[in-house]
Amino acid sequence: MRVVLLGPPGAGKGTQAARLAEALRVVHLSSGDILRAERAARTRLGQEAQRYMDSGALVPDEVVLEMMAGRMQSSDAEAGFVLDGFPRTIPQAEGLDRRLEAAHRPIDRVVNIEVSDEVVTPRLTGRWSCPKDGRVYHEQYSPPKSAGTCDICGTALVRRRDDEPSVVRQRLATYHAETKPLIDYYRRRGVLASVNGDGEIDVVFESIRAACRGSG
């Protein structure tokens, strides 16, 4: 089965994609993880992407598409996959569909995790992590025992730049302008299902599983 998860930053796509891939016995393909791996391995695509990032520019759709398409052609993705963080734009979605349909392996289901800006903003801005061991805390949901320090090693916690309030506002603005239009794109193709992402992780996961069972 081939699934795409959509949703705003902070909707929990990474967590849910990993769980869904395990349940479906397919591979979880995170665009962020794949990009980092390509850069670390200094592949042609990784170096090309790095040049754009070093200049402060967005990595072009065609570069991202080629990178993801290559990963989807790997042997471990033959049984299917769950895409997380890709596609992000209409051109990426169109390019993905062309490649998959040419291989007679179209997307089976797109699940949109619906969460309002008012809910995801505190989810993101409340996150803090330990720079030493990588442990992640949240001011509201999983605070450290001692404010501002890691429970395990006592290191001072830091907030990722992506979770700074001003950056979160920009990330959400980019989502609404570039990624949210994918909802209508996939609805017109007859593969979209939407679930409420405001609930507990397990409840949202069961909604996503039910949406996938209803595909086709």
pLDDT digits (tens, 9 = 90+) for 37-87: 888 899 999 898 888 877 767 788 899 999 999 899 899 999 999 999 899
pLDDT of residue 50: 86
Tokens 């569909």, residue located: 97
DSSP string, 78-141: TT-EEEES---SHHHHHHHHHHHHHTT----EEEEEE--HHHHHHHHHTEEE-TTT--EEETTT
Among candidate residues 13, 19, 71, 109, the one labeled active-site is 13
Weakest mean pLDDT among 40-44, 53-57, 91-95, 136-140: 53-57
Strand 136-138 relative to strand 127-129: parallel, antiparallel, unpaired? antiparallel
13 among known catalytic residues: yes
Share of the chain above pLDDT 90, in %: 73
Among candidate residues 71, 109, 123, 127, the one labeled active-site is 127
Among candidate residues 2, 19, 88, 109, the one labeled active-site is 88
180 among known catalytic residues: no
Q: Is 18 exposed, middle or buried (0-12, 13-18, 19+ CB in 10 A)?
A: middle
pLDDT of residue 215: 61
- pLDDT over threshold 60, residue 216: no
- The average pLDDT across 141-159 equals 94
88 among known catalytic residues: yes
- The average pLDDT across 151-176 equals 92
- The average pLDDT across 90-116 equals 95
Among candidate residues 51, 132, 160, 169, the one labeled active-site is 160
Domains (ranges, CATH) in the chain?
2-115+165-213 (3.40.50.300)
